[in-house]
Chain A
Amino acid sequence: MSNMDNDRYDLWYDATTVGADLVVETWISHSPQASDAEFNPQPGDWVTVGDDEEPSIRGRITRRDANKVWVQLELGLVATDAASQAVGHG
Chain B
Amino acid sequence: MTGALSLRDESAPSGLVVVRLGARTMEDNLLLRSVEQCHDRWGIWGFSVLEVPDGAYDQLARLRPIVAERRQLLVANASELVDDGFPLLPTLDSPHWTVVLAAATAAQFGRVRAHFEGPIANPSYRPRSS
Task: Give residues in A with beta carbon < 8 Å to B.
Answer: 2, 12, 14-20, 22, 25, 27, 30, 51-54, 57, 73, 75, 78
Q: How far is the CA of A17 from the CA of B47 in the complex (A)?
A: 9
Render B59-102 as a binary contact track against A, CB cut-off 8 A, 1 for contact: 00001111001111000000000000000000011001000000
Q: Is the CB of B33 within 8 A of A16?
A: no
CB proximity of B93 to chain A, nearest CB, Å: 7
Residues in A neighbouring B30, C-beta threshold 8 A: 14, 51
Known: A30-B33, A30-B37. 4 other contacts (CB 8 A): A12-B33, A15-B22, A52-B24, A53-B22
Residues in A neighbouring B66, C-beta threshold 8 A: 15, 18, 22, 73, 75
30 A-B pairs (CB sep. < 8 Å): A12-B33, A14-B25, A14-B47, A14-B48, A15-B21, A15-B22, A15-B66, A15-B69, A15-B70, A16-B22, A16-B34, A16-B47, A16-B49, A16-B50, A18-B64, A18-B66, A19-B92, A20-B63, A20-B64, A20-B65, A22-B65, A22-B66, A27-B33, A30-B37, A51-B24, A53-B22, A53-B24, A53-B25, A53-B72, A54-B71
Residue from A18, A20, A27, A78 within 8 A of B128 (CB atoms): A78
With an 8 Å Cβ cutoff, the count of chain B residues facing the other chain is 29
